[in-house]
Amino acid sequence: MNKSQTKFVLMALALCLVLSSVVFAAGSKESENDGIVLSTYLQIDPANPQQQGYVEMQAAFEASRPDITFKHEYATGEAFHQKFQAMVASRELPDVFTTYIGKRTAYVTETGNALDLNTYLTDDFKKQFSDATWESQGPNGEIYTIAPSMAVCHAMYVNTDLLKEIGLEIPTTYEELLDQVQPIRDAGYYPISMGNKDQWVVNSWLLSAFVDRMGGKTWFNKAMTGSASFTDAPFVKSLEIINEMVQKNVFSPGVNQMSNTEADQEFYQQKSVYLIDAGWRTSAMVTTLPQEQQDAIEMIVFPALPGEVQSNSSAAVLSEGFGINAKLGGTPEGQAAFDFIAYYTGEEGASIRLKNGEIPTYKLDYSGLDLPGLQLKYAEFQQNHPMGYVIDAKMDGEGMGILNPDIQAMMFGNLTPDEVASRYEAWVKDNDSNRDK
């Protein structure tokens, strides 16, 4: 055998070894440890202390299900999305992956690559979660992700000590709030702190809640897709109320020049009676304010608006969660993957994540848990209030470059509510991807 023949034989043997290892790896999906092997690609950094809840949950699940073995891959930020998009393009998706509710991972959920979880969902399972968890995520009611938590983007914090000092009570209607403005100012305080320097704040934390009150999700879905318009009454009236609040001095001075952090500090320093902010602000209050001041803070939604069709609602964005490869539908691996997601989002995982500072969508019984008072109020707030849409989470982000500056211009007196609505509707009609459907 000459040198070239010897080289060929060696190469052939090497190729056989490679192929045999590939075949073994492909067969290991069901054979490793005589159980099921699930591959994952998750937008998580296990080394980050903020991910401790996930790390503990994962360990607890693996201990409870030794029949399931995981092969994890983690990434964060844009690097996660870049590789994920490449996986989708090559049709080489893992079994379980991070998904967002909305457009952020539409390249997976809107391309037939994510499994509709309705196959596994029962009414008894669903009623254990906040209602907002089950908003349709596809055109036919599909659910691709069980959100483990939500970001509540509207809450109204009340300094009850200041209210008592002034001789007032928590208002139940918008008119009652307006009646409080002068007494509060006469007592040397500001009515409401809010910082709109960054322009998006009033949109996300106030207008979104108002639009839900005035039109509800049914109207918003129509406006989003074009069978209704953002020049309709629910949107215009919501803008008019914000404009009236400016004109009647409901906000503290310089609302449009004040950052959100400065507005928080104004409330923390007890210069204002109310603060409009996000629900997760309770975490900062717990670590920043003395206990006596924390105890005096109540967490409510904005009072009832005249003509509202949805009462007592806030606005929220559901968090990212985990989806399942559509190819696993009807397989033991698919059931195992759902069992993992159900554990993560359900009672066991929710209890672990709560201990690490996350308020879950799962309806835990908080009565026997040792939570800081404000964190408990936040948890109960999520369970007790319907959640409307956050506008910038439903509509294309580029349009916020029109709407947010125009809201600020309206608050400065440079645009009318009708003009803001007309300019935004014109942009949506010509550009927003929701109108293409």
72-86, pLDDT tens digit by residue? 999 998 899 999 999
- The pLDDT assigned to 196 comes to 95
Structure tokens given for 230: 């953002």
Which listed CATH number (3.20.20.140, 2.40.33.10, 3.40.190.10, 3.30.70.2740) goes with 151-316+387-431?
3.40.190.10
Structure tokens given for 107: 């390249």
CA distance 144 to 215: 26
Q: What is the amino acid identity at position 94?
A: P
193-242, pLDDT tens digit by residue? 999 999 999 999 999 999 999 999 999 999 999 999 999 999 999 999 99
User: Where along the chain do the CATH 3.40.190.10 domains lie?
Assistant: 36-149+319-363, 151-316+387-431
Is the Cα torsion angle 296, 164, 382, 405 positive or negative in sign?
Answer: negative
- The pLDDT assigned to 8 comes to 37
The low-confidence residues of the chain, meaning pLDDT below 70, are 1-34, 437
- The pLDDT assigned to 9 comes to 36
**Three-class DSSP labels, 314-350:** EEEEECCEEEEEHHHCCCHHHHHHHHHHHHHHCHHHH
Phi-psi region of 32 (alpha: psi -120 to 50; beta: other; left: phi over 0): beta
- The pLDDT assigned to 46 comes to 86
430 burial type by CB count under 10 A (0-12 exposed, 13-18 middle, 19+ buried): exposed
Residues contacting 53, CB < 8 A, separation 6+: 352, 353, 355, 356, 357, 358
- The pLDDT assigned to 10 comes to 36
CB atoms within 10 A of CB 251: 26
Q: Count of residues for the chain?
A: 437
**Contact call for residues 142 and 118 (beta carbons, < 8 A):** yes
326 burial type by CB count under 10 A (0-12 exposed, 13-18 middle, 19+ buried): middle
Residues contacting 123, CB < 8 A, separation 6+: none
Residues contacting 410, CB < 8 A, separation 6+: 239, 242, 243, 416, 417, 419, 420
- The pLDDT assigned to 372 comes to 86
Residue 69, SS3 per DSSP: strand
- The pLDDT assigned to 283 comes to 85
- The pLDDT assigned to 223 comes to 98
- The pLDDT assigned to 34 comes to 66
- The pLDDT assigned to 29 comes to 45
Q: How do strand 36-41 and strand 297-300 relate by DSSP bridges?
A: unpaired
In CATH, the architecture of 36-149+319-363 is: 3-Layer(aba) Sandwich (3.40)
